[in-house]
Amino acid sequence: MTWTGLGALWSHWRRNPLQLFTLVAGLALATALWSGVQAVNAEARASYDAAAATLGEGQYDQLLPAAGEDIPQETYIALRRAGWLVGPVVEGQVGPAGGQVRLVGIDPLTAPGGLGPVGGGGMDLPQFLSERPVFANADTAARIEGLIDAPVMIEPSIAPDTAITDIFVAQRLLGAQGRLNRLIVAPDQPMGRAPLEQIAPDLTRRAAQGGSDVGRLTDSFHLNLTAFGLLSFAVGIFIVHGAIGLAFEQRRAMVRTLRALGMPLRRLMALMAAELLVLALVGGVLGVSLGYLVAATLLPDVAATLKGLYGAQVSGTLQLRPSWWLSGLAISVVGAAIAATGAMVSVARMPLLASARPRAWATSRGVVRRVQMGVSFGLLGLAAVLALFGSGLVMGFGLLACLLIGAALALPLVLDGALRAASSLARGVTAQWFWADTRQQLPGLSLALMALLLAMAANVGVSTMVSSFRLTFTGFLDQRLASELYVSAESAEQARALEDFVRPRSTEVLPLLLVDQELAGLPAELYGARIGATYRDNWGLLDSAPQVWDRIAAGEAVLVNEQLARRAGLWVGDDLAIAPQRLLPIAGVFGDYGNPIGQAIISEPLFASLHPDVRATRFGLRTDDAAGLRAALTDDFGLPSNSITDQAQIKAFSLAVFERTFTVTAALNVLTLSVAGFAIFMSLLTLAGMRVPQLAPAWALGLTRRRLGQLEMVRAVVLAVLTTVCALPLGLALAWVLLAVVNVEAFGWRLPMYVFPRDYGVLALFALGAALLAAAWPARRLARTPPADLLKVFANER
């Protein structure tokens, strides 16, 4: 009985391959975009975890030198002798420019347990100490093999673009004998040891941060990707819902017959669920495979973005992780279950003696309409409440979800109203029939049109955000990167000589003085600035008190970036403690786009009084003759040319990072729009098969098949235009939420919102083009429907 029942159910798909294709393709597309994004996220997180696990980043307290300084090996020895259980770390770059690898040297005898490949299962200690190899993953190993004078061993757990070795090997390879960069503090320390200030007063202790710094910093980036993946998944599930709804509707008669012939309802439901499970798994496998391609295509750009924005090293190649496969298949099954629940419940509740005639799938049902309207208004109302009174990133995404789903549910009602209005204005008989017929088609097309609405709104919203960001960021770079040249010295001594050298040759020398410290209880950077014409003329402030620059220069006030101001709940006029017992009023807030952490700026003299040991090793130079100054620095001073960067280079680099950041978003945008186009195409194609009984009377009364085909095309355009008109305000609302709510919560800064009517016009043309393309084939099929098929509608005996 089971196989006979399955055979009957399956025969429906065999006879309706297009429906089967729609269902599987919908599941595959939904799974592909979701699992592609998840793969990218998983790969990035695995890289952060590998870095944290192998280097101890974030897991342990660390002792750090002043900015630009090293830790002398003698300090390390003194600490060990005083009872401090610390492990030394030296790090630097090896390899050619553009393909450099971060080489990290550790001491396996003193590093906290399990740190790195030694002691963690990769190699035993005596072997490590005798061979002293350099560990790296396969990709990195291939890049440094032969370039360094040490054996290279492959260790897959090492973070990408990173190599780990014994500290003495690293010091030799980096030319850093006797120098250390930081000390890792073991969690359990002996009692009664001498305080740090007594043995190494120059070192500062940074507390463990319970996980990798970079992992936390990039959370919002990954959250944005996840949100996009979810949106694409939702669009795909719209397709699946449509396909399953139609298939179940068409099978109502079959279900009744099967039950009448003796198939128990419970068995029938189980078979239908099993059938869906198999289809979901097939769609899932296809989707995960497709997702792998999406992820492999996006990952290099994501890796470049994360490196540029956060300094995070992410492998540029994708690994096939079982958890990712399983989650991809699970999301496909869950998606199918969500899409099929309504149809399954409807079949389960259908009385055996109910009418076997398929309910008009393409006719509106009053109760459903009322429920839909209620849910839509409820969600839009909730969105308004969240926008007015909510706070936090989760609220931001909740607001987005309410707004998008509420608007999508409202779309059929809005379109129905518009079509009704058009119908009442129509004069000709063909026009009246056209509008009435379009209204009748609306329920059947509404899921696809909702998908189009969401895809277009996402496009409008995200492109508005990106373009607003681009405009703001470009202006910001022009302001901020005022110095014609940027130079860096290798040591504090060289920096002093460098400053003496450039002072008479530049109109202004701007030292980069900074320390990492907590401000208002948040991790931040404190800068010392030489306030002069550059700052006064170029820096635009979001908000400021009178005589802001004079007060900063006099050491009477502090300037903070927007991130710090928003996160700490401070603004102009509030006080900020820049050191114990040292409160300064905030005189201004500056925009700092792209920077993940807080910053405060004080005058150079005040900074020097607070941090007398910190010396600038990097400088911005103002000059009218950048080429001449560059030549003098390399020829006369002997500064390596790679220590000099000009303004154009930095701007180009910053903009390149920016563009790559949004390459990912743009790609997801295009994919989402394509999925929506596909949804319309499949809906029109499926409906075309059910249209014959509706079109036959119009044909019999004098409309030619060609004319009917043309009207089908016009119908697609009309619906696409109406949807586009609805998508524009929704997209702008989405952009506002992204810029004013999500961005502020995720990154700590707010962007001004600009509108780009030309871009929206182009997008509308794309949408119309997609609708026309989607309608072309079904319309052609309708126009070529054989008269015999149309006549069958009128036959008594069919």
Partner 1 sequence: MLLSVRDLKKSYTGAEGAIPVLRGIDMEVAAGDTLALTGESGSGKSTLLHLIGGLDTADSGAIRLDGKDICQMDDAARAAVRRSSVGIVFQQFNLIPSLDIAANIAFQARLGGVYDAAGAARLSDALGLGPHMTKYPEQLSGGQQQRVAIARALAARPKLILADEPTGNLDEATAAEVMDQMLELVAQTGAALVMVTHSPRLAGQMGRQLHLRQGLLA
Binding-site ranges for partner 1 (CB under 8 A)? 1, 4-5, 7-8, 11-12, 14-16, 253-254, 256-266, 352-353, 356, 797-798
Nearer to partner 1, 353 or 701 (CB): 353
Minimal distance, residue 367 CB to partner 1, in Å? 18
Q: Name the residue nearer to partner 1 (CB basis): 19 or 47.
A: 19
Give dist(CA 148, CA 731) in Å, integer.
Answer: 53
Closer of 14 and 427 to partner 1 (Cβ): 14
3-state SS of 139-150 is HHHHHHCCCCCC
Amino acid (1-letter code) at residue 766: F
Q: State whether residue 61 is helix, strand or coil.
A: strand
In the complex, what is the shortest distance from the CB of residue 796 to partner 1, in angstroms, rounded to a whole number?
Answer: 8
In sequence order, the 6+-apart residues with CB closer than 8 A to the CB of 667 are: 297, 298, 301
Q: Tell me the closest approach of the beta carbon of residue 4 to partner 1, in angstroms.
A: 4
Using CB atoms within 10 A of its CB, is residue 260 exposed (0-12), middle (13-18) or buried (19+)?
exposed
| Strand extents, DSSP E, 537-630 | 541-544, 558-561, 575-579, 582-590, 598-603, 618-622
Rounded to a whole number of angstroms, the minimum distance from the CB of residue 712 to partner 1 is 24
Q: Which is nearer to partner 1, 255 or 558 (CB)?
A: 255
Q: What gap in Å lies between CA 33 and CA 292, rounded to an integer?
A: 9
Output 374 or 693, the one with its CB closest to partner 1.
693
Q: Which is nearer to partner 1, 103 or 244 (CB)?
A: 244
Listed residue (125, 111, 206) closest to 167, CA to CA:
111
* Cβ distance to partner 1 smaller for residue 10 or 637: 10
Q: Give the nearer residue to partner 1 in terms of CB position, either 427 or 798.
A: 798
In angstroms, give the least distance from the CB of 352 to partner 1.
Answer: 5
Q: What's the burial of 515, exposed, middle or buried (CB within 10 Å: 0-12/13-18/19+)? A: middle
Q: Could you tell me the smallest distance in angstroms from the CB atom of residue 266 to partner 1?
A: 7
Question: Of 268 and 526, which CB lies nearer to partner 1 in the complex structure?
Answer: 268
Return the amino acid letter for 446.
S
Query: Which residue in the block uniquely carries the two structure tokens 């695995």?
Result: 46
The SS3 assignment for 153 reads strand
**Can you read off the two tokens belonging to residue 606?**
């005040």
The 8-class DSSP code of residue 364 comes to -
- Report the C-alpha gap between 796 and 173 in whole angstroms: 92
**CB closer to partner 1, 254 vs 732:** 254
Nearest distance from C-beta of residue 431 to partner 1, angstroms: 34
Minimum distance from CB of 724 to partner 1 (Å)? Answer: 38
Closest separation in Å from C-beta 259 to partner 1: 7
Query: Least distance in Å: CB of 720 to partner 1?
Result: 33
Alpha carbons 700 and 713: distance in angstroms, whole number: 20
CA distances (Å), 501 to each of 89, 484, 505, 509, 638, in order? Answer: 34, 17, 7, 11, 11
First to last CA, the chain: 30
Closest CA to 155 of 121, 117, 118, 127: 117
> Buried b / exposed e across 406-435, counting CB within 10 Å, b at 16+?
bbbbbbbbbbbebbeebbeeeeeeeeebbb
What are the residue ranges of helices labelled H in 595-644? 604-610, 626-631
Q: How far is the CB of 257 from partner 1 (least distance, A)?
A: 5
For partner 1, the closer of residues 261 and 425 by Cβ is: 261
Measured from the CB atom, the residue of 241 and 251 that comes closer to partner 1 is: 251
Q: Is the dihedral of CA 136, 142, 145, 148 positive or negative?
A: negative
Q: Yes or no: say if 134 and 164 are a contact pair by the CB < 8 Å rule.
A: yes
Quick one: 12 or 750, whose CB is closer to partner 1? 12
Q: How far is the CB of 269 from partner 1 (least distance, A)?
A: 12
Q: Which two tokens stand for residue 247?
A: 């298939």
Q: How far is the CB of 395 from partner 1 (least distance, A)?
A: 48
Chain center to CA of 46: 16
Rg (CA), the chain: 33
Query: In the numeric block, which tokens belong to residue 778?
Result: 């079904």
Report, in Å, the least distance between residue 342 CB and partner 1.
22
Q: Which is nearer to partner 1, 7 or 156 (CB)?
A: 7
Q: Using CA atoms, how far apart are residues 617 and 636, in angstroms rounded to an integer?
A: 19
